[in-house]
Amino acid sequence: MDFPIFHLDIFGNRGLVATIAILHVLVNHSLAVGMMPLVACMEWYGHKRQDPRWDKLAYNILFVAFLITTTVGAMTGIGIWLSVSLVNPYSIGSLIRVFFWAWFTEWLVFVTEVCLILAYTLTWKKWSEGKAKERHIRLGFTLGFFSWVTMALIVAILGFMMDPGNWMSEPTLWSGITNPIYLPQLAFRTPLAAAMAGIVAMFLAQFFTRGDAAFRNEALRAIALWTLFFAPFVLIAGFWYYSVVPDVMKENFGVAIATLQFTDWQQKFLEIALVTVVVILVAVQVAIARPNLLPRVAMLAPLVAVIWMIGHFERVREFVRKPYVIGRYMYANGFRVDDYPLLQRDGILAYATYSNPLTDAERAGLPQGLDDDAREAKLARLQKGKDVFMITCSRCHTGHGVNSITGHLQRMFGDQPWTADLTTGYIEGMHQVRSFMPPFPGDKKELDLLGEYLEHLQNNLAPIPGAQTAGIIVQAAPALRAAGIDQSEAIAR
């Protein structure tokens, strides 16, 4: 509660982070972690056979990877930092405290990786003969290694967010890194990245080998074999990864893969996932056995399939850890589990440094027939209710947009008036019914204020603006407390 609240009421805060993060993972895995060793292998193979066609193909694929990783990849990498800092500064703050040196190391490795990809791409044509070529190939494999190390470091943090393991009793960097999910997830992502790179390379190879059908077939065969080699490791490590996911999180799979509205859609999703895997395997198989039968457009199918699969995998991974953003340590709303008793005793508003002012549009839709005093009193309660909503709900829910609170209430209670009694009765015990929801963190009075605000939302469809557009009001008492100044002392001054 020490930061103004950024909020996107149509797209949703989660949507912002998810879009940037999934795009980053797609670029990182397929065009950096997996692609750099594949390109280096192709360069080595061309050099070994003294076949310039392999060298040209490798360079062309590298150039595409270089362009995308240094633009979309780099921007989304920074974008993740910016978006998570805006959406949930408390969780990223906690993670930085635990993983400071790991992140610092990752930053050094990332800078090295950028330097290496620049060197690898720009020296390709200069270092093309004899010893220089061998040095260039080694440079390619070194780049591949550094790309993998960046992933290996970040995966430690992703695993920690799902299950911190022993860190809860022994809060050190090492115990955080050696969380139970780290190695299985790394073992899964490594061959996955290689296989993804193979699928992307097969797609690109069709464009870069036009006019040479024999080489096209040879290249498709070789890259398909690369993809196929990693496929069983994806499967085996996938089972290992799944086996270490805590059972409580597995209960969230149904909602994670399709949203609450489409829980019944789980079976349909699994069928689509099955088709996706089959499409990829058959495309790879045909590329090995009969590459000449694969039309250029056919490689679009496995490419789209793998993008769809990874997008959903990341979505599920992000969702199943609910109600926590950091397993057993911090709830998705940004409150630490250990702070709940204090907040439920004193209320969250007692510690809220900022208030989120109601806009004119949000003030509309009040009950008819209120005199001025009653209207002002109602607006004051709605202001507090909105603050409770913004602090406790808005990290995941919008008012009227994606994953909206009004959408959920409409589904549960229909068009009947959403009275405070009706909604608060549900919210009070929702964490027992919905395992992915955190308990309400405030006191009883704040729960009633929230209920009154939700009732207001039924009659007011105006978007709820975040601090970035509506501004903030600084609350005197919590702000002084946060600054370490006693309130009576401040008044005396």
Q: Which residues lie near another protein (CB under 8 A)?
A: 214, 217-218, 221-222, 225, 228, 268, 271, 274-275, 278, 281-282, 284-286, 288-291
Q: Please give the structure tokens belonging to residue 464.
A: 């709820």
206: region left, alpha or beta (phi > 0 left; psi from -120 to 50 alpha):
alpha
Give the side-chain half-sphere CA count within 13 A for 219. Answer: 31
Beta-strand runs (E) in 376-417: none
CB of 148 to another protein, least distance (A): 24
Phi then psi for residue 394, to 5 deg, are -75, -5
| CB of residue 42 to another protein, shortest distance in Å | 13
Nearest-approach distance from CB 285 to another protein, in angstroms: 5
Which 3-state string (H, E, C) describes 14-27? HHHHHHHHHHHHHH
Minimum Å distance from CB 75 to another protein? 38
User: At which residue do the structure tokens 């959403």 appear?
Assistant: 418
Strand boundaries in 118-205, DSSP class E: none
Is the Cβ of residue 228 or residue 470 nearer to another protein in the bound state?
A: 228
Nearer to another protein, 275 or 485 (CB): 275
Nearer to another protein, 269 or 413 (CB): 269
Residue among 221 and 431 whose Cβ is closer to another protein: 221
For residue 323, is the peptide bond before it cis, meaning its omega torsion is within 30 degrees of 0? yes
Cβ proximity to another protein: between 80 and 277 the closer is 277
Strand extents, DSSP E, 295-350 = 324-326, 330-331
Nearer to another protein, 138 or 268 (CB): 268
Give the nearer residue to another protein in terms of CB position, either 287 or 388. Answer: 287
Instruction: Name the minimum Å distance from CB 284 to another protein.
Output: 8
132 versus 275: smaller Cβ distance to another protein: 275
Measured CA to CA, the distance from residue 16 to residue 20 in angstroms comes to 6
Nearer to another protein, 286 or 379 (CB): 286
In the complex with another protein, the residue whose CB is nearer, 186 or 199, is: 199
247 CB burial (10 A radius; 0-12, 13-18, 19+): exposed
163-172 long-range contacts, CB within 8 A, separation 24+:
163/244, 163/245, 163/246, 163/327, 163/328, 164/326, 164/327, 164/328, 164/329, 167/98, 168/328, 168/329, 171/98
CB of 184 to another protein, least distance (A): 23
Supply the minimum distance, in Å, between the C-beta of residue 267 and another protein. 9
Q: Which two tokens stand for residue 214?
A: 């024999």
**Single-letter amino acid, residue 319:** F
Shortest gap between Cβ of 57 and another protein (angstroms)?
15
How many Cβ atoms sit within 10 Å of the Cβ of residue 22?
A: 19
Min. distance of Cβ 43 from another protein in angstroms? 16
Smallest separation (angstroms) from another protein to the CB of 398: 33
List the structure tokens of 183: 């190695």
Backbone angles phi, psi at 354, to 5 degrees: -125, 150
In angstroms, rounded to a whole number, what is the distance separating the alpha carbons of residues 357 and 13?
A: 19
Q: Which is nearer to another protein, 152 or 273 (CB)?
A: 273
String of DSSP letters for 50-65: T-HHHHHHHHHHHHHH
Q: Report how many helices (DSSP H) and strands (DSSP E) the chain contains, helices first.
A: 22, 4
Q: How far apart are CA 161 and CA 326, in angstroms?
A: 4
| Closest distance to another protein from the beta carbon of 305 (Å) | 14
